[in-house]
Amino acid sequence: MNILEKRNNNWESIDNCESINKGYQFLNKYNVLYKLRQCGAQAELYLCEYEDELYVVKLYRELIKFDKKIIERLKWICSLDENELLFAQLTENTTRVSHNAYNLEVLLALASLERYTMETVYNLARIEGKFEAASEAASSDPEKAMDLLLDAHKLSEKILRNKEIMWSCFNASWYKSRLPKNQSKNGIEYLYVLDDVKDHFADRRKGLEYMLAPFERMKIEEWKVQLEEVINEYAKIHDMPPL
């Protein structure tokens, strides 16, 4: 995979990004297949092809003076773009292959798990930033502090909601070729026997839940409930409506 990052004035000037459609060529060689998505207000991302190789082209709309936090965010978005390109390649190839299509489906499921992991870490970092800003505003601007706490709460809900969506699709793919332990099939009873010598961590889970263990250790559900209590207590102190 190749990532091209150039600024407009060092690359090529484009008057209107809306004119960039399938078939458009950057530098007269990178042929646009489709637009991936927008990176905030700063840039557009396009999946392109050149000499049978795929490229992600990041087109900046204008020169921007970045501060440290924005640079870090853009670096993280780039890592998600790599995951998105992987999705595009796998999805495209599932329609082309005549054999082993299920292998690609499993790889897509793994890519979705990796994407959820990256997004969770990123959203947790955003939550921490909301808390820091709320702490600074608490004494002088309670309403702003409350808004920041509510933003953090919404992000925690997003993390949990994305997990449910990802996990449902993940299981739908994997359970085409395997079943949870001790599940009957076609009238046959199956009994999973644990290893009597070694204690395998994954064996103590009925299905694939062991893959969610890192997120379970974070106890995000419990933490969200505690955050709700803090928000309601803060709202009561400052005569604001509760969550």
| pLDDT, tens digit (0-9, with 9 covering 90-100), for 65-76 | 445 555 555 555
Q: Can you give the pLDDT at residue 51?
A: 76
| Residues of the chain by 3-state class (helix, strand, coil), percent to 5 | 55, 15, 30
Q: Residue 98 has what DSSP assignment?
A: S
In a domain, 186, yes or no: yes
In a domain, 220, yes or no: yes
Give the residue, 92 or 126, on which the prediction is more confident.
126
In a domain, 53, yes or no: no
Q: Can you give the pLDDT at residue 70?
A: 53
Given a cut of 80, whether residue 130 has pLDDT beyond it is yes
Query: Mean per-residue pLDDT for 216-236?
Result: 95
Task: Say which residues have a Cβ less than 8 Å from residue 8's Cβ, sequence separation at least 6.
Answer: 14, 59, 60, 61, 62, 63
Given a cut of 50, whether residue 3 has pLDDT beyond it is no
In a domain, 32, yes or no: no
Place of tokens 């209590």: 229
Gyration radius of the chain's alpha carbons: 23
Give the residue, 210 or 95, on which the prediction is more confident.
210
In a domain, 23, yes or no: no
In a domain, 185, yes or no: yes
Query: In one letter, which amino acid is 62?
Result: E
Query: Mean per-residue pLDDT for 4-28?
Result: 64
Task: Say which residues have a Cβ less than 8 Å from residue 5's Cβ, sequence separation at least 6.
Answer: 58, 78
Q: Can you give the pLDDT at residue 95?
A: 75
pLDDT band (50, 70, 90) for residue 158: very high
Provide the residue range defining the domain that includes 132: 97-237
Q: Can you give the pLDDT at residue 224?
A: 96
Question: Measured between alpha carbons, how far is residue 16 from residues 10, 19, 20, 143 in Å?
Answer: 17, 6, 8, 40
Task: Say which residues have a Cβ less than 8 Å from residue 51's Cβ, sequence separation at least 6.
Answer: none
List the structure tokens of 81: 């773009």
Q: Can you give the pLDDT at residue 16?
A: 61
Given a cut of 50, whether residue 9 has pLDDT beyond it is no
Could you give the number of structural domains in the chain?
A: 1
pTM of the model: 0.68
Report d(CA 144, CA 146) in Å as an integer.
Answer: 5
Place of tokens 């949870």: 180
Q: Are 141 and 201 in contact (CB under 8 A)?
A: no
List the structure tokens of 141: 């601007």
SS3 43: strand
In a domain, 43, yes or no: no
In a domain, 168, yes or no: yes
Query: In one letter, which amino acid is 160?
Result: L
Give the residue, 111 or 1, on which the prediction is more confident.
111
Given a cut of 80, whether residue 131 has pLDDT beyond it is yes
